[in-house]
Amino acid sequence: MNLASEADIATKVGRMAERVRWGHPEMARRGIDPCRLAIEGDPDSPEAFSFLVLGDSGTGLHRRDTPQRRVAEQLLAHGADARFLLHTGDVVYQVGSSEQYPDNFIRPYREWIMGGEDWRRLPYDQLVFRVPFLPVLGNHDYYDLPLPLGLLAGLTAPPRRLLRSWLDLDVGWHGSFVGQAWAHAFLDVLSAVPEPGLGEHLSRTRSGSVDGADCLLYRPGVFTRLPHRYYTFRWAGVDVFALDSNTFNHPLPAGADDGELRRHRHQLDAKRADLLRSLGPLTSDEDARDDRASLAEQIDEQIRDIDKQLASSASARAGRTQAVDEAQLDWFTDSLIASWRNPAVRGRLLVLHHPPYVTEVSKWNQGQTLAVRAQLRRVLDRVAAALGDLPAGRPLLDLAFSGHAHCLELLNTGDTGHGDARIPWAICGGSGYSLRRQRPEGPELLEGPPGSERVVARSRLFLGRSGRGSALRRAYSALRVEVAAGIPLKLTLTPLVAEKVEGEWRPYRGAGIAL
């Protein structure tokens, strides 16, 4: 049984729109860009700067020496001059609940939050960040807990606390309420502002301006809210686009592979049942519990993905099409074209949760991975057609970040035949939760019909789970990104790694990687 339930795409889009009063006439009357923010202190010149990236971090499974906190300390050690932090999603596990924010988010990142020294007293929906903390939504940030399971989890909380060294579901009474907890933690929730006070609130918070349009002003230490679930900002001449991939990741129909998918699902069900039967005696070994949690979650994710593929096939046979968040994709298309045509912009970065290219063992061929690849290609093909020769040999994106796959990976697309050609991808999803291995098929991703496959992407760095037995290594990670001054954009990526080997934390030596 999957622990979590997930709303459909239309419900996600609708609920989030209600929270920010999407389309409110007052926003239009004032000429406010509802998806843009200006960050106070932006130098508005092509100077050098650095920023940090993390993702898939929000675990509460480890009670004593947490990988998430180890990575947070790496961020602190290398982030004194960081201008902002990007988070690639899955801020808290398992089900994005407000109950999980104190232990799974506020506590490990307390130094970045105003008043964090007294983190237990900080309400999750009133956080103010010292340095811009800019997340996107992950799938777990949208997950909910079925009511019967929520009641069972709440009623059994005392014995589960006693037995947590054996099995800890890391859930409370409820889930995210379709992303509500994430929204209240990070968005400017306009639905909470009474109608008579909306004009004053907008005057106070939408005092920023970019390219002649008013927008939300993000003021570190004062007001640190985002305008919408997808958004864009500019720092030192670099445009950053943040997308909500949960609303365009529904797998494409499986077609003739339906039968094979059903057989694979049956095998996964059996494997999960064997895992539950083999949990064994109580143990205080957090590494062993992490192994079990990692495998159980991996199986559940694979089953969930197969179920989505089968649902797409059933809809296709019935003549129905699956919902796709076309409004967001159109916005990204238009915004990226405008960015390329703006002489004030020297580079473009993208961040979203689901990776279109990855070699992690459980994600590389998932239906959601391939769906996100197809949707982004569709957007980037449109951008390339609109721009013509304008990119002059440069990729449409200088660097793209994602999470979801529990690893740190750097790969490059080759000549894909689409607008996503030659883009470097950094998968930053190993910042605290269970790690995964690289697929045994190796670092090259192929595409095309059998017998005519071609390489479309190659991995050049992979850090996650490796080795076995006494040689097992776990490399939890984040990234420091350094942006050089001037034009064209030059980037250097430095892995920030907390590595556990043979039960001990050891230093990791990794040099910066120039793109």
The pLDDT of residue 304 is above 90: no
Strand 238-242 versus strand 347-351 pairing type: parallel
Is residue 378 pLDDT above 50, yes or no?
Answer: yes
Go through 49-68 and write b for each residue having 16 or more CB atoms within 10 A of its CB, e for each that does not. bbbbbbbbbbbbbbeeebbb
Residues 164 and 294 placed together within one structural domain of the fold: no
Residue 456 has pLDDT above 80, yes or no: yes
Q: Is residue 283 pLDDT above 80, yes or no?
A: no
Q: Does residue 147 share a domain with residue 13?
A: yes
Q: Once rounded to an integer, what is the mean pLDDT over residues 237-242?
A: 98
pLDDT at 168 over 50: no
Looking at the fold, whether 296 and 157 belong to one and the same domain comes out as no
Q: Do 202 and 332 have their domain in common? A: yes
Residue 95 falls inside a structural domain: yes
**Domain C-terminal end among 448, 468, 488:** 468
Q: Do 185 and 266 have their domain in common?
A: no
More confident residue, 364 or 281: 364
Q: Is the pLDDT of residue 216 over 80?
A: yes
Q: Are residues 405 and 282 in the same domain?
A: no
Whether residue 266 sits in one domain with residue 234: no
Residue 348 or 259, more confident = 348
153 has a pLDDT exceeding 50:
no
When comparing pLDDT for 397 and 316, which is higher?
A: 397
Q: Note whether residue 509 is domain-resident.
A: no
Are residues 370 and 286 both part of a single domain?
no
Band of pLDDT at residue 260, cut at 50, 70 and 90? confident
pLDDT at 279 over 80: no
Residue 397 lies in a domain: yes
Strand partners, 477: 497
Residue 182, pLDDT > 60, answer: yes
Higher-confidence position of 391 and 412:
412
Q: Residue 277 — pLDDT band, cuts 50, 70, 90?
A: low
Task: Tell me whether residue 8 is exposed, middle or buried, using C-beta atoms within 10 angstroms of its C-beta: 0 to 12, 13 to 18, 19 or more.
Answer: middle
Same domain, 280 and 328: no
Identify which has the larger pLDDT, 493 or 392. Answer: 493
Supply the pLDDT for residue 171: 65
Q: How many structural domains does the chain have? A: 2
Higher pLDDT, 71 or 313: 71
Domain assignment present for 494:
no
CB under 8 Å to 372, separation ≥6 — which residues?
A: 245, 248, 249, 352, 354, 355, 356
Note the pLDDT of residue 267.
82
Domain boundary among 317, 333, 355: 317
Q: Taking residues 251-275, report their average pLDDT.
A: 76
Q: Is residue 140 part of a domain?
A: yes
341 and 303, same domain (yes or no): no
Residues 365 and 310 both lie in one domain: no
Q: Which CATH number characterizes residue 459's domain?
A: 3.60.21
**Residue 148 in this model has a pLDDT that exceeds 70:** no
Confidence band (pLDDT; 50, 70, 90) for 43? Answer: very high
Average pLDDT over residues 168-173: 63
Does residue 481 lie in a domain region?
no
Torsion of CA 482, 82, 333, 459, to 10 degrees: 50
Residue that the structure tokens 């789970």 belong to: 465
**Does the pLDDT value for residue 434 go beyond 60?**
yes
186 pLDDT more than 50: yes
* Per-residue pLDDT, 265: 81
Res 10: pLDDT: 95
pLDDT at 381 over 90: yes
> Which one, of 498, 490, 492, lies nearest residue 512 by Cα?
492
- Give me the phi and psi of 455, to 5 degrees please: -75, 125
* Choice among 19-28, 206-215, 286-295, 406-415 with the minimum mean pLDDT: 286-295
Give the residue, 510 or 431, on which the prediction is more confident.
431
Position 65 scores a pLDDT of: 72
- Is 497 a member of any domain? no
Residue among 406, 475, 460, 399 at smallest CA distance from 436: 406
pLDDT > 80? residue 291: no
Higher model confidence: residue 150 or residue 216?
A: 216
Q: Containing domain of residue 401, as a range?
A: 9-65+81-101+115-250+323-468
Residue 73 has pLDDT above 70, yes or no: yes
Question: In the predicted model, is pLDDT for residue 325 greater than 90?
Answer: yes
Whether residue 307 lies inside any domain: the answer is yes
- CA angle at 353 for the pair 261 and 52, rounded to the nearest 5°: 145
Indicate the helix (H) or strand (E) that contains 134. strand 133-135
Last residue of a domain, one of 317, 338, 361: 317
Confidence bin at 54 (pLDDT 50/70/90): very high
Stretch 61-81: mean pLDDT, rounded? 85
450 and 306 within one domain: no
505, β-bridge pairs? 500
Q: pLDDT at residue 226 above 70?
A: yes
Q: What is the pLDDT of residue 9?
A: 95
Residue range 400-422: mean pLDDT, rounded: 97
